[in-house]
C-alpha cells in the first residue's frame, strides 16, 4: 500500500510540485494525514526533491538534445567531465550498447555542435550518438509551449525563481520574508510565473528502487501512423518524458514503474501499438546529475 501511495504521490508532485496536501489528497484518493506523512517522508529521505525550473527560452537555451555515449574503460573521467559541463543538465549511467546518456541545453545549434565535439574529444569516449529534440510532448521540466512573448521579469521575480529552484515547496510566507512582499503578493507572482510558462515546479526522483523510482529509457521508430502512435504512447501510465527527435529514433521516452516486470509490460504495450516499427530500451542505473538551474538576467 505504501509503495502504491508513494507512486501516486510522486506522479502528482511531478505534475504540480506546489500542490497542497488537500489537492494531493484528492489526486491520490487518500486521507490528508496519510498524504502529508508520506510526502514528508519522501522529502526527508531524499527520495524526492521538489524544485522549480525556468523556461529554457527564458535562460536563452534554444537547442536541446539527448546524447548517448559509449565509453572505453572506466566511466568516471567521462562522468566527471559531463558533471562539470554547464551544457549537461541530466546525466545517467545506463545499460545497453551505450554507457551514459545526457541531456544538453545550449543557446544555439552551433553551441550544441561544439559541446558534442568537445564530448567526443574526452578520453575514454568511444562514440556519441545525438538526438535533437524537435518538440517535447511531455516532460516534468520541459515546456510544452513556447515562452510567452510578453513575459517580463523584475529583480523580485528573479529572487523568487532562485528561491524556488532550491526548494519548490517553500511556503509563501517564507518567500514573502525573503522578498519583503506580502504573502498574498508573493502568491500572485508565483502563480503568474507558473501560468505564463516562465516557471515549472515538479518533483525530482532519486532512482534507487521502490515507489515508482525505477526508470527506463525507450527509443521508438515509427511508420506512417506516427501521430496516432505518439498519442497512444503519451496516454500510457508511467510516461514521464516524451519527445519527437531527429536521429536514430523518431521518439524517445522515459518511463517509470514500481518493478522491472512493470517496465517490461509497458515496453511490450508500446511495441504493440499500431505504427511502432521498432523499439530499443535501456535501464537507468544511476543518475549523477539532474540540475536545470542557471543564472537569470532580468528582462527590461
List the beta bridge partners of residue 289: 91
| Mean of the per-residue pLDDT values of the chain | 90
Q: Which of the four pLDDT bands, split at 50, 70 and 90, describes residue 207?
A: low
Q: Which of the four pLDDT bands, split at 50, 70 and 90, describes residue 144?
A: low
Q: Where are the domains of the chain?
A: 2-45, 57-142+207-290, 152-195
Give the β-pairing of 239-246 and 88-94.
unpaired
Q: Coil, strand or helix: which one is 105?
A: strand
Q: What is the pLDDT of residue 211?
A: 45
pLDDT digits (tens, 9 = 90+) for 120-137: 999 999 999 999 999 889
Q: What is the pLDDT of residue 213?
A: 63
CATH architecture for the domain at 152-195:
Orthogonal Bundle (1.10)
pLDDT digits (tens, 9 = 90+) for 41-97: 999 988 899 999 888 888 889 899 999 999 999 999 999 999 999 999 999 999 999
Pick the CATH number of 2-45 from 3.30.1240, 3.40.50, 1.10.10, 2.30.29: 1.10.10
Q: What is the pLDDT of residue 114?
A: 96
Fold of 57-142+207-290: Alpha-Beta Plaits (3.30.70)
Topology alike, domains 57-142+207-290 and 152-195: no
**Contact, 116 vs 128, CB < 8 A?**
yes
Q: What is the pLDDT of residue 280?
A: 96
Tell me the CB-side half-sphere exposure of residue 168, using CA atoms within 13 A: 27
Among 42-46, 146-150, 184-188, 295-299, the range with the most confident prediction by mean pLDDT is 184-188
Cα–Cα distance, 289 to 235 (Å, whole number):
28
Cell of 54: 525556468
Whole-structure pTM value: 0.83
pLDDT at 212 over 60: no
Helix H or strand E segment including 252: strand 251-257
- ∠ Cα 187 193 199 (to 5°): 120
Q: What is the pLDDT of residue 28?
A: 94
pLDDT digits (tens, 9 = 90+) for 234-270: 999 889 899 999 999 999 999 988 888 999 999 999 9
Least confident piece of the model among 8-12, 53-57, 145-149, 184-188: 145-149
Q: Greater confidence, 219 or 150?
A: 219
pLDDT at 299 over 50: no
Polymer length of the chain: 300
Cα–Cα distance, 8 to 265 (Å, whole number):
19
Q: In 167-273, which residue ranges form alpha helices assigned H by DSSP?
A: 172-179, 183-195, 226-235, 260-271
pLDDT at 208 over 60: no
Contacts of 115 (CB under 8 A, 6+ apart): 85, 87, 104, 106
Amino acid at each position: 500500500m505504501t509503495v502504491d501511495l508513494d507512486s501516486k504521490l510522486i506522479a502528482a508532485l511531478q505534475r504540480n510540485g506546489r500542490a497542497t496536501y488537500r489537492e494531493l489528497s484528492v489526486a491520490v484518493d487518500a486521507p490528508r494525514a496519510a498524504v502529508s506523512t508520506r510526502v514528508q517522508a519522501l522529502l526527508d529521505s531524499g527520495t524526492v526533491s521538489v524544485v522549480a525550473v525556468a523556461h529554457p527560452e527564458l535562460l536563452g537555451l534554444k537547442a536541446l538534445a539527448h546524447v548517448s555515449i559509449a565509453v572505453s574503460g572506466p566511466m568516471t573521467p567521462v562522468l566527471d567531465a559531463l558533471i562539470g559541463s554547464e551544457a549537461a543538465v541530466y546525466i545517467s549511467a545506463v545499460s545497453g550498447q551505450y554507457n551514459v546518456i545526457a541531456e544538453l541545453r545550449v543557446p544555439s545549434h552551433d553551441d550544441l555542435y561544439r559541446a558534442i565535439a568537445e564530448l567526443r574529444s574526452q578520453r575514454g569516449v568511444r562514440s556519441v550518438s545525438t538526438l535533437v529534440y524537435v518538440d517535447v510532448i511531455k516532460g516534468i521540466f520541459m515546456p510544452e509551449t513556447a515562452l510567452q512573448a510578453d513575459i517580463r521579469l523584475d529583480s523580485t521575480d528573479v529572487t523568487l525563481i532562485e528561491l524556488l529552484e532550491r526548494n519548490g515547496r517553500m511556503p509563501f510566507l517564507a518567500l514573502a520574508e525573503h522578498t519583503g512582499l506580502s504573502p498574498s503578493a508573493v502568491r500572485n507572482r508565483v502563480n503568474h510565473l507558473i501560468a505564463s510558462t516562465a516557471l515549472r515546479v515538479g518533483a525530482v526522483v532519486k532512482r534507487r528502487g521502490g515507489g515508482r523510482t525505477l526508470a527506463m529509457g525507450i527509443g521508438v521508430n515509427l511508420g506512417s501512423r506516427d501521430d496516432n502512435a505518439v498519442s497512444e504512447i503519451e496516454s500510457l501510465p508511467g510516461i514521464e518524458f516524451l519527445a519527437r527527435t531527429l536521429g536514430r529514433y523518431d521518439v524517445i521516452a522515459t518511463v517509470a514503474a514500481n518493478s522491472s516486470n512493470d517496465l517490461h509490460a509497458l515496453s511490450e504495450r508500446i511495441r504493440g501499438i499500431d505504427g511502432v516499427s521498432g523499439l530499443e530500451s535501456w535501464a537507468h542505473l544511476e543518475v549523477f546529475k539532474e540540475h536545470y538551474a542557471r543564472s537569470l538576467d532580468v528582462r527590461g
